[in-house]
Amino acid sequence: MTSRDVKEDSAQAENMQERKWSFDRTIMGLPVWAFIPMAIIALVAVSFTSEETGMTAAFAVVMSLGGVLMWVGSSMPYFKLIGGGVILCILVPAIFQYFGILPGAVEGLVTSFYDTSGFGEFVVAALITGSILGMPRGLLIKAGARILIPIIATIAVCFAVLGLVGKLTGVGAGYAIFFVAGPVLGGGVAAGAIPISEIIAQNGDQPASAYLTALVPAVAVGNIMCIIIAAVLNTAGKKQGYRFRAFNGKGVLAQGVKLPEGTAEKLSSPAAAVKLATTGFFLAGALFVVSNLLSDLVPALHAYVFLIVICALIKVFIPLPEYVEASVDLWYVFVANAMIPAILVALSIIAINIDEVLSLVSDPGYMMMTLLTVVIATVVAGFVGWFVKLYWIESAISAGLGLADFGSSGDLAVLQASQRLNLLPFLSISSRIGGGIVLVALSALAPYLL
């Protein structure tokens, strides 16, 4: 298997697309009839143990739930076309938790594990490092600077349109921009909704925590919409990729550049694979440590931003040996296959509040404005990117959905649904740098609109 197999979800996904009633008979390499009973046994056993039983048990839980939910969602006719597996991984554990179906021991175990282990950093560091260091040098040079143009255009158009809609509907331009468009485009909760609530509080009469409750639902529902739109774009690219010139780049962002073939097929033995994966594991960790240090020195920039910059500088200016590129590529393949369903389940348990989601769904006007923000972001990013020689679908995903999703974890869900994991560095640029631009813009608008 190569990294390109992961990014295109293999020929099997194509066959499943064509034969909509067929399904994969394996989960994480095991036959379904073997994996599901083992997963049930693991979940039952954990539910009867004490909380905080360690990393091994936590991995068993999130991989069991993630594997089964991804398989079910990816096997259901039509539902799989809108990212069914990803949607189930994001929603079902949170629903189980909401109705008390999820044992407290499981919830405590996953929460403790995620909070103390840096599981999200582990996954994102592997994917960013593998994506950039395994990326064609020409693609990085051509696309890296250009992606900022559709990002800025998307923010400007979304704010302008939502402000106009808010004014026309009577809720106010400030409400539409600060409570809908801002949190949706802000880069998630920690990097978006929380600082936005503080900006609002500086110009309002309530504490930031009171405003935060009103911001988080837009972030959560906007992220689900991003996943659905990502899956729809992937299906449109497969079925109507010829719609117009440069509509579908098949995972390539900039026009005129091709992705290299994967490196995993060059391996001569399992021992070589283990050695390379170990090297990739170390490099991803070492580069992230350096990035984290730089982020401590310059708190205004997230560690992921520094990681992207460091990897990009290495790729552009340092000729890397082939085995180094192969190592990060192989580690990327492993993490993408094994860990993405697991991290989605973990985030569902610890970050998705069904009450907040229901409160938004019950307000049609708020829901329509949230949907409108995501749709505008997708369309504007697609066309502006297309004008600067990026592929339409890839630009819409990278600059549009990358802005509107849940931050780093949302990037992974969107890319899994769109089968374009190699675009992670560009979605990270949207989430982090684009999210920073959103905060700057809101800070400037607050005195006039709040």
Q: Residue 410 pLDDT more than 90?
A: no
Q: What pLDDT band is residue 7 in, cutting at 50, 70 and 90? A: very low
The pLDDT of residue 123 is: 85
HSE (side-chain half, CA atoms, 13 Å) at 292: 10
Residue 120 has pLDDT above 70, yes or no: yes
**What is the per-residue pLDDT across 32-81, written as a single tens digit (0 to 9) for each?**
999 999 999 998 888 887 666 678 888 999 999 999 999 998 888 877 76
Domain parsing of the chain, residue ranges: 3-449
- Compute and round to an integer the Cα radius of gyration of the chain: 21
How confident is residue 15, by pLDDT bands cut at 50, 70 and 90? Answer: very low
Q: Percent of the chain beyond pLDDT 90? A: 29
What pLDDT does residue 260 have? Answer: 54
- pLDDT score of 24 more than 60: yes
Do the Cβ atoms of 157 and 374 come closer than 8 Å? no
What is the maximum alpha-carbon separation in the chain? 66
CA distances from 197 to 190, 209, 404 (A): 11, 7, 17
Token pair, residue 398, equals 């990278």
**Distance of alpha carbon 217 from alpha carbon 24, whole angstroms:** 34
pTM above 0.75, yes or no: no
Give residue 48's pLDDT: 82
Structure tokens at 295: 């982020």
Q: Where are the alpha helices (DSSP H) in 352-422?
A: 354-361, 364-387, 392-395, 402-404, 408-418
Of residues 418 and 103, more confidently modeled: 418
Supply the pLDDT for residue 64.
Answer: 93
Question: Which residues, in sequence order, are CB contacts of 343 under 8 Å at separation 6+?
Answer: 62, 66, 119, 120, 123, 409, 412
Label residue 136 by pLDDT band (50, 70, 90).
Answer: low
CA 225 to chain centre: 12
Indicate the helix (H) or strand (E) that contains 31.
strand 30-31
- Give the SS3 label for residue 9: coil
Q: What are phi and psi of 31, to 5 degrees?
A: -60, 145
Residue type, 136: P
**What DSSP line would sit under 368-383, residue for residue?**
HHHHHHHHHHHHHHHH
Q: Angle of helix 354-361 relative to helix 208-240, nearest 10 degrees?
A: 80
**Spatial CB neighbours of 175, under 8 Å, sequence gap ≥ 6:** 166
Q: Give the model's pLDDT for residue 267.
A: 55
Top pLDDT among 85 and 5 is at 85
Q: What percent of the chain has pLDDT over 70?
A: 88
Q: Are 428 and 182 in contact (CB under 8 A)?
A: no
Which is more confidently placed, 122 or 136? Answer: 122
Would you state the pLDDT for residue 18? 41
- The predicted-structure confidence for 163-194, as pLDDT tens digits, reads as follows 999 999 999 999 999 999 999 998 777 667 87
What are 27's strand-pairing partners? Answer: 30
Q: Sign of torsion, CA 85 285 349 425?
A: negative
